[in-house]
Amino acid sequence: MNYKVTLAYDGSKFHGWAKQPNVVTVQQTISNALKKILKEEVNIIGAGRTDAYVHAISQVFSLKTKQNLINMNFKKAINDLLPKSIRIKSVKIVNDNFNAQHFALNKTYKYVINTASYDLFNNDYLYNYNKKINVSLLKKASKALLGKHDFLSFSTSELKDTIRIINSISFKKDKNLLIIRINGNGFLRNQVRMIVGSLLDINENKKDKNSLEVLLTNPKKGSCIRKAPGSGLYLEKINY
């Protein structure tokens, strides 16, 4: 049977989602727990990779096994084995052809920025920017990013196809926090963090408000340069 598993994790405890040698990752930690429960090696396919220290409120992976995970109360069993920094939220049986990565229609990331004084105890869960932000200016500048573009300038990806679609960008003030939400059909490596970094450059007058258009029309790998810290980034929702 094929299963769709939804989970959340605290990215500050991991070097990203994907398995890597000699470091602790979310995918490897889950794979280890699955092997103990199922007594077999299973391949888990994540909806997308998150970088080191990036969090997930609603990540998704799919897996296939002959065992009935629903009958064996799999959710409780695996949560008992996993560290408290990872929680399985739901487990559902899906069609055999479902693939968590390829079936995703769009994803929403949110980025959390602290504009007030340094917040020591939440440093792993936001960007301690500690400066005022001209939200109106960033709203106007960000409109250039909407739609279908080559986002190579906002990525360190090795992929050949770097064209993506951004459906919406929103800005919400919550006391001393600025929350930026970006929804798109898919994202390149570091794309959201580099977009946020570029917006903050505009806020600091290091770049012109039209600089985003220049980066889009002249795509060059990582040319926006500035990358906001992973601690402020959350994979918030995936739509199928």
Tell me the per-residue pLDDT of 137-148, one tens digit each, with 9 for 90 and over. Answer: 999 999 999 999
Indicate the pTM of the whole model. 0.95
Q: Could you give the C-alpha distances from 1 to 33, 47, 152, 197, in angstroms and in order? A: 19, 18, 38, 43
pLDDT confidence of residue 71? 85
pLDDT confidence of residue 72? 87
Across residues 96-101, what is the average pLDDT? 97
pLDDT confidence of residue 59? 98
pLDDT confidence of residue 16? 96
Flag whether pLDDT at 9 surpasses 90: yes
Interacting residues of 97 by C-beta distance below 8 A, sequence separation 6+ = 2
Q: How far is CA 79 from the centre of its chain?
A: 22
pLDDT confidence of residue 82? 98
Q: Which residues does the annotation mark as catalytic?
A: 51
Flag whether pLDDT at 159 surpasses 90: no
**Checking DSSP bridges between strand 2-9 and strand 55-64, what pairing results, if any?**
antiparallel
Q: What is the pLDDT of residues 20-64, one digit of tens each?
A: 999 999 999 999 999 999 999 999 999 999 999 999 999 999 999
DSSP 21: T
Flag whether pLDDT at 219 surpasses 90: yes
Across residues 67-79, what is the average pLDDT? 93
Chain position carrying tokens 């949110």: 110
